[in-house]
Amino acid sequence: MHRMKMGRRGLLKISVMGALLALLVGGCVWADLGSAGAGAGSAEGILLFGVGMHIEPMGARVSEVALAAGTKQAPIDPRRADYRDPPYFAQHVRNLLTLASVLERHGGRMTVQAQSPFTVVAAETGNRVLSDLETRGHEIALHFHEDAHLGGDPDRLPVSVWSEVMTEEIGYIHDAGVRGPIRYWSGGNLFVGILDAASAAGLEVNSDWKNPSTQTTPPALLGVHPWRPAGGTDGTDLTRFAAHDPSGRIVFLPNGAVESDEWARKREIVDAGGEAAWLDVLKKGFLESLTRTSGDRVSAFHITLHPEEFARGPAGPYALIDRFLTEVVDPLVAAGRVKWATHSQVAEAYLDWEAAHPGVDPRGGEGGT
């Protein structure tokens, strides 16, 4: 596999190199990376803001590694979408590039979380979408649907199998042309050993925790201040995951000041009011998170999208997102209250804060069980 390892300062160097490359190919450096953690030093506090993109495992097959460990491939529904369908894959590529352009016009970059079969199809067809986005300064990361890659009842598999399959998925991202290290992942939320498995695969940053069965996030895992979980969770016992361990190997980014059941109500909200209604929910979480920023700690919030969301509408692809950024985010950026950051840049800001504040509770009493 093509996985790379480097220290925490290496991430900042990669980010700076990406920004300089963006200057050469795109005409502007999109962020002041040297002050990405400025929210931890200002009186009012700065909210680090980003956009995450989840690419789902449409048409996935269980890894041979997991099959060899005794799991089974679930029956494949031929009616479901599959990235091996060229028009479907091409449409999502266009959506990713269109959204990237919208965000870039506002000075932002997203964290694209990819997995197979999207990554495999990109590699096999020579499609450079992920490497092109990386060149433009977007972060490329891993979105890991354990049931798709590990089969039925994946929580019974050992940490070593999880780690090997996560490493395999990271390898597919590099096969698709991505050159930098993969630092961030989302997924595997109900596996107690997920932090160990991810760390063994070279991953360092996690977020987007929700129970896949209930589509909810417990209040103990919500907030705006990152921390280092002391251990994993099965979704019921949150004690270790919600507790900060200064020696923990993973930096966790909470989902922001949002309601714990918002994702569970997403379909209901969209059915009743369209995607504009869902964007109102995200806007509410963003503005509430802004009120919870702290001048003595790193504060962050991100919204999570999927390739097919907000891509259609009478005003054009991502017009709702463009309007939200224009009317809500841009003025706050101009006022110095909000700063764009990818997920790993938020983690880097936290690491800088942590080094300057040894022994200080990074959550300041926020969260907890």
pLDDT at 44: 73
From residue 147, alpha-carbon distances to 136, 157, 171, 172 in Å are 32, 11, 19, 18
Question: Cβ distance 22 to 108 under 8 Å?
Answer: no
Residue 366 belongs to a domain: no
pLDDT at 9: 39
Q: What is the mean pLDDT of each run of 10 residues along the chain (369 residues)?
A: 41 38 33 41 79 97 95 80 97 98 98 98 98 98 97 94 98 98 98 98 97 92 96 96 97 92 89 95 96 95 96 92 98 98 98 96 78
Q: Long-range contact list for 313-318, CB < 8 A, 24+ apart?
A: 313/275, 317/95, 317/98, 317/99, 318/98, 318/99, 318/102
pLDDT at 368: 54
Q: Count how many residues are written for the chain.
A: 369
CB-based contacts of 92, cutoff 8 Å, min separation 6: 55, 83, 118, 307, 308
Residue 2 belongs to a domain: no
pLDDT at 88: 98
Residue 272 belongs to a domain: yes
Residue 338 belongs to a domain: yes
Q: Retrieve residue 338's tokens.
A: 């909000």
Alpha carbon distance 135, 62 (integer Å): 31
Smallest CA-to-CA distance from 201 within 241, 149, 243, 244 is with 149
Alpha carbon distance 299, 290 (integer Å): 8
Residue 31 belongs to a domain: yes
pLDDT at 110: 98
Q: How many CB atoms lie within 10 A of CB 177?
A: 19
Domain that holds residue 280: 8-356
Residue 368 belongs to a domain: no
Assign residue 81 the CATH number of its domain: 3.20.20.370
Alpha carbon distance 297, 292 (integer Å): 11
Q: What is the number of domains present in the chain?
A: 1
Residue 69 belongs to a domain: yes
pLDDT at 121: 98
pLDDT at 43: 53
Question: Cβ distance 165 to 66 under 8 Å?
Answer: yes
From residue 125, alpha-carbon distances to 14, 120, 206, 368 in Å are 27, 9, 30, 47
Residue 52 belongs to a domain: yes
